[in-house]
Amino acid sequence: MEERVSHIAYLSLGSNVGDRLENLRQAMQLFCGEGIALRCTSSIYEAEPVDNTNQDWFFNCVAEVGTTLEPLALLHKLQQIEAQLGRQRTIPKGPRTLDIDILLYGDVVLESEELALPHPRMLQRRFVLEPLREIAPTLRLPRTAKTIGQAFNELRDPAQVRLLIKSLCA
């Protein structure tokens, strides 16, 4: 029997439609099993929308997971979960019940039509770096010697992000 290797990945979750907190909780329950194991979650933050600002504020968090899925298989699984929880991709950068992005997948660097790793905009987003720094401040970014904590300290994103619910994990 072939042994499956588990990889550590960091996922960003966001919701600004419906019961935002429940959407995040359901998503984390749904990605447990089927090749994904939840290891840790950040606190939940409330953040103002960034690109399309004419919408409600988001609840955001970051989850550390162990996965036996390869990056594209993980992406497809997360997209299934988004759809299962009512995600509709009608307005680009618009309101959504759930948005899950793969921020990091081990030390993998990937550029494809479907997925770029590390996530190309993560270092510009306070709503991503603040919760990621909470659970992995010394994690080193692929292609650089910079840590998440250092990247956060260099961040120039003026968007408002406020702590909502403190994590028991962090």
> What count of other Cβ atoms lies within 10 Å of the Cβ of residue 96?
22
3-state secondary structure of 135: helix
Active site residues: 87, 96, 99, 101
* pLDDT reported for residue 1: 43
- When mean pLDDT is compared across 21-25, 140-144, 146-150, 161-165, the lowest value belongs to 140-144
Q: Can you list the domains of the chain with their CATH numbers? A: 7-163 (3.30.70.560)
Q: pTM for this one?
A: 0.93
Residue 2 has pLDDT above 60, yes or no: no
* pLDDT reported for residue 94: 66
Range with top average pLDDT, 26-40, 46-60, 77-91, 126-140: 126-140
Could you read off the pLDDT of 64-99 as tens digits, one per residue? 999 999 999 999 999 999 888 876 666 666 688 899
Q: For residue 15, what are the β-bridge partners?
A: 59
